[in-house]
Amino acid sequence: MRLDRALHPVAWWLWAIALATAASQTSNPLLLLLIFAVLGLVVTARRANAPWARAFHYYLIMALIIIAIRVVFRSVFATGITADDHILFTLPQVRLPEWYAGIQIGGPVSLQATLSAVIDGMRLACLLCCIGAANSLANPKRALRVLPGALYELGVAVTVALSVAPQLVESVQRVARARKLRAGRRRGLRAFRSIALPVLHDALDRSLKLAAAMDSRGYGRTGAATPRSRRLTGALMLAGMAGLCVGAYGLLDPSVPRAAGITGFAAGIACSAAGLALGSRRVSRTQYRPDPWRWPEWTVAGCGVVTAVVLSLGLGYDPAALNPVLYPLQWPDLPLLPTVAILLAGAAAFASPPPPAGARA
Amino acid sequence: MIEFADVSVTYEEASQPVLRDVSLSIPEGELCLVIGPTGTGKSTLLGTINGLVPHFTGGTLAGRVSVDGQSTADHPPREFAGLVGVVGQDPVAGFVTDTVEEELAYGMEQLAIAPSVMRTRVEETLDLLGLADLRHRGLHELSGGQQQRVAIGAALTAHPRVLVLDEPTSALDPTGAEDVLAAITRLVHDLGVTVVLAEHRLERVIPYADRVLYVAGDGTVESGTPARILALSRVAPPLVHLGRLAGWEPLPLSVRDARRHAGSLRETLPPQPPVPHRRSHATGVTALTAQGIVVRHGAVYAVRGVDVSLYAGQVTALMGRNGSGKSSLLWALHGAGPRSAGKVDAAEKVGLVPQTATDLLYLDTVGAELSQADRDGAATGTARSILDSLAAGIPDSAHPRDLSAGQQLALVLAIQLTVTPGVVLLDEPTRGLDYDAKAALARTLDQLASQGRSVVVATHDVEFAATVADRVVVLAEGEIVADGPAPEVLTASPSFAPQITKVLAPLPYLTLGQIQAVTG
């Protein structure tokens, strides 16, 4: 019997990042389309009924915009047209001065250039949609809760900021409305002042009250930790995070030596682990209804990782199939193993439990 | 449970201490009510219990405050979180998370309580405060009363021995306030928590209080039984004033007690009051006529075809529950708010004081605000003289935000009156005002009416309506359901009546003055 529950947010993020890694390895439009399909399937099947979960279609719109921009730029700034290109149509060309050679505005638009722009755009859009999928599948605020103890304060700051923003909007609307009541309405800078000051006063009052409330509710109890150990934990965690970022960049960008990427990644993991260990030595805080990590989490994260590994290693199939050539123009192949791997990532839709019916925001 | 030993509190740059040599003790399990005029140090007294004063607010505390034997001098407020739960005036300001369940758990997470224990305590608290249906809801979609109940629940889950509540109902409408006060009295009876409560709706809590602390304003605090303190206090509900006038012993603290005394008084009173509840200034000259007013917010019709005429010199109370369309109607009558249909013919200028009056204030000093108002269309000094007639003694150099709620209201009213409107609309001006400030506002409104202005005041406060209004209009779902002279509308149903009417029903008496006119 499988009960409905929210999957651990980290599992969704691992899955999405793994898929993004896979997408960055290929420029095969068929594989990219397959990844889009998998994202769509999983998001439709497993997103909860909450406001943050409805964001996915905004990411899709953004994706289309990215592709469109890419194509338009490639057509207007057309360069490197070879004799083999199929010319679709010719744009009126702008005459640029002699010394401005190298950049060409307008001119012939070729099929190959347009296709390569579409594929590039698709790859970028695919990365964006992976992040979008993670955001719609896992509540961003719950994801912040899994931040290790050493970064807890950061998580609280973000959560508070997220809930204060709508209040600020409400307060601006209220003051702007009230301003209509006063005779001799001001314009320009004075009008700005008459709205900004009451709103700022409001915001200040509110933050003082919030600070007092949090203080009386035990926020910032230090427990047994000394200031020195807290600073050390913070430094280790930050260094670790930076290492992870650099390492991830190194691994994803083919022009960076692989060894550098792996070293950065490993150093990041080591620092973070040390910080975590040090931070958890002083448990002065617990978590209400922590998300469990059970086999569905392992499966979902595993599906994603397998896909990423298959596409990154390029073993068991012809790696050239991942990046089909445009000269001569031909229908791309669909390599079997990568296809199966991407479909496997789609299994997350069935491996994860259904989201709870009551909107658990 | 709570001990004050020679406690004095002085804020920085203050010449006088707010509290002076306060020594008292509050035993375990009591419901202790803190009363006193606004701005006299009630919040300071409450703040000292968990050490927010002086650790958070600054200032100097002499003497010793201890809770359950622990002195607040030795630990910051956060270390008291497990012992003292605190609930403030504005629940929204204190929320850290965004759903009911997470908010209830927040305090326990900070105290490192085991997850299994947290789970059971959250479930218990949801039941105790009747929040079970709301557990997954976002905090900002709840009504004011529900939000305040969540805030109380959030303080309770840490199982504090003491619960401190600073005017928990002052920002709520009557239904929300009832909800919250009912929840508080249940806590005292079921859990035996020691509760320290500052509250100006005395009539609702007095029957349950074991002890009253009266903060006088000169720094002293008097502690005693409710009947003893109220017999002396200037701050008292109308019921207590009636009891004093009739010489009832012991002083009745609830309508039920008073009715048991009132039999003989009812026999001596004539069936119709010899004097009206207030002297009306109404002239019968129409100041504003509105026909077929419709206000629509998105898909919701806030006002559905209201026809109303306002007369010069008349004070009209606009009543009805939250969301019944009172504010929308006032804004539509003024003309600054949206109006989907209907027309307003105003013979004179219309001024409106919004619910959050301070939204209109944006300069650094009272003097600057007043001269700005003069520049907007009046002779120099007009605004100042109006303000002095409403509330004397507000210096030009004061910052508008430092004034009390009553003074801020007077300042905004003075600014709005500077352009001499013939119709004055006030949206919920009594929110957060104590008895004294309400009495001052009542005098102000009467003064405005005597100058021939038409005054409309939207209010939830039946007692206030009984003292100021000539006419009462009741709105429900955007339609007028009752419109007539105040005595008729206010005595028509017992639940909607002021305390004195409740005690003397079926006699149609509204105010203490009417009884004084008979007894002399």
Structure tokens that stand for A108 in this block = 């012939």
Query: Please, how many CA atoms are within 13 Å of residue B410, restricted to the half-sphere of its CB?
Result: 27
**Angle of CA points B407, B447, B320, to nearest 5°:** 75
Residue type, B451: Q
Contacts of A193 in chain B (CB under 8 A): 362
Q: What is the pLDDT of residue A361?
A: 40
Residue A19 lies in a domain: yes
Q: What are the residue ranges of helices labelled H in B25-135?
A: 42-50, 52-55, 100-110, 115-128
**Given a cut of 90, is residue B473 above it in pLDDT?**
yes
Contacts of B110 in chain A (CB under 8 A): 217-219, 221, 285
Query: What is the side-by-side order of every strand in the sheet holding B286-297?
Result: B300-311, B286-297, B341-346
The percent of residues above 90 in pLDDT, for chain B, comes to 31
CB pairs under 8 A between A and B: 158
CA-wise closest residue to A30 among A344, A326, A324: A324
Overall domain count for chain A:
3
Structure tokens that stand for A231 in this block = 């600073």
- A210–B96: do the CB atoms touch at under 8 Å? yes
Shared-domain flag, residues A282 and A295? no
Who has greater pLDDT, B56 or A79? B56
Average pLDDT, stretch B60-77? 89
Q: What is the pLDDT of residue A360?
A: 42
Shortest distance between the Cα of B96 and any Cα of chain A, in A, equals 6
- B88–A193: do the CB atoms touch at under 8 Å? no
In the stretch 102-141 of chain B, residues with CB closer than 8 A to chain A read: 102, 105-115, 118-119, 122, 136, 138, 140
Residue A221 lies in a domain: no
Model pLDDT for residues A152-196, shown as the tens digit of each residue: 777 778 777 777 777 788 888 888 888 888 766 666 777 788 888
Residue A222 lies in a domain: no
What is residue B346's three-state secondary structure? strand
Q: Which of B78, B154, B359 is nearest residue A174 as measured by Cβ atoms?
A: B359
Shared-domain flag, residues A2 and A102? yes
CA-wise closest residue to B333 among B254, B425, B467: B425
Shared-domain flag, residues A106 and A35? yes
Per domain, the residue ranges of chain B are 2-236, 311-337+345-498
* Residue where the block lists tokens 């389309």: A33
Q: Are the CB atoms for B50 and A216 separated by under 8 Å?
A: yes
Structure tokens that stand for A229 in this block = 């150990």
Domain B2-236: state its class. Answer: alpha beta
Q: Which of A206, A210, A286 is nearest residue B109 as measured by Cβ atoms?
A: A286
Size of chain B in residues:
520
Shared-domain flag, residues A284 and A297? no
| Dihedral Cα B99, B104, B110, B111, nearest 10 deg | -160
| Dihedral Cα B64, B69, B74, B75, nearest 10 deg | -120
Model pLDDT for residues A268-308, shown as the tens digit of each residue: 888 888 887 777 666 577 888 888 889 999 999 999 999 99
Shortest distance between the Cα of A47 and any Cα of chain B, in A, equals 17
Structure tokens that stand for B9 in this block = 């509190």
Q: Which of A216, A283, A289 is nearest residue B81 as measured by Cβ atoms?
A: A216
Contacts of B93 in chain A (CB under 8 A): 205-206, 209-210, 213
Q: A169: burial class by Cβ within 10 Å (0-12, 13-18, 19+)? A: exposed
**Residue numbers of the domain that contains A74:** 1-146+291-361
Q: Does domain B311-337+345-498 have CATH number 3.40.309.10?
A: no
What is the Cα–Cα distance from A111 to A108, expressed in whole angstroms? 10
Shared-domain flag, residues A119 and A30? yes
The pairing of beta strand A87-94 with beta strand A105-110: antiparallel
pLDDT band (50, 70, 90) for residue B480: very high
CA-wise closest residue to A16 among A47, A58, A62, A54: A47
Structure tokens that stand for B336 in this block = 């600054």
* Residue where the block lists tokens 């040090």: A278
- A211–B78: do the CB atoms touch at under 8 Å? no
* Residue where the block lists tokens 């991942």: A322
What is the Cα–Cα distance from B20 to B238, expressed in whole angstroms? 30
Q: What is the pLDDT of residue B425?
A: 94
**Given a cut of 90, is residue B5 above it in pLDDT?**
yes
